[in-house]
Chain A
Amino acid sequence: MATPTPTPTPSSLTPVPAQLPEVLIAEILKRLPVKTLVQFKCVCKSWHKLLTDPIFTNTHLHFTTPTRIILSRYFKSFLSLPLHPNPNPNPNPNPNPIELPLSLNDAHTYYVKGHCNGLLLLIISDGTIILWNPTIARYRTLPTPSNFKETREVLGFGYDSSTNDYKIVRAPSSYCKLMLKDYNPQIEVLSLNSNSWRKLPEAETPPYFIEHSQQSFYLNGAVYWLTLDDFCTLILRFDLAKESFARVPPPRDDIGRNMSWIGVINDSLCVLHSHQRSYFDIWATRDDFNWEKMITVFKTVDPEPCFSYLDYAPLCFVETGELLMSIRRKGLIAYDPNEQCCRIIALLEDARWLQETVYTDSFVFPEEPSEVDQTGSSSGALTRVISQMLLGFSNAFMSRFAYRADSS
Chain B
Amino acid sequence: MAAEKSSIKIITLIAADGSVFEVEPNIVKEMKTVQSYIDELDQNTVSIPLPNVFGNDLAMIIEYCKKHASEEETKEAKEEFDFEFVKRMKSDDKLRLLQAASYLNMESFLQFMAKAIAAEIENQSVEFVRDYFQIESDFTPEEEAELRKENEWAFK
Which residues from chain A sit less than 8 Å from chain B, CB to CB?
Answer: 1-9, 12-21, 23-25, 27-29, 31-36, 38-45, 47-48, 136-137, 382-383, 394, 396
Contacts and interface: CB of A to CB of B under 8 A. Distances in A.
A86 B49 CA distance: 48
A161 B145 CA distance: 33
A35 B95 contact: no
| Interface residue tally on B, bucketed by range | 35 or more
B20 A42 contact: no
A12 B23 CA distance: 22
B119 interface: yes
Q: Is the interface of B mostly helix, strand, loop or mixed?
A: helix
Given A24-B98, A36-B122, A44 B137 contact: yes
Contacts of B146: 383
Contacts of A34: 154
Contacts of B119: 396
B19 interface: yes
B136 A44 contact: yes
Contacts of B110: 27
Contact of B23 (A2, A5, A24, A27): A2
Contacts, number: 137
Nearest to B151: A38
Q: Is the interface of A mostly helix, strand, loop or mixed?
A: loop
Contact of B27 (A1, A16, A18, A21): A1
Given A5-B20, A39-B154, A394-B118, A24 B62 contact: no
B115 A31 contact: yes
Nearest to A6: B19
Which interface residue of A2, A18, A20 has the most chain B CB atoms within 10 A? A2
Nearest to A135: B153
Contact of B55 (A4, A21, A24, A28): A4
A2 B22 contact: yes
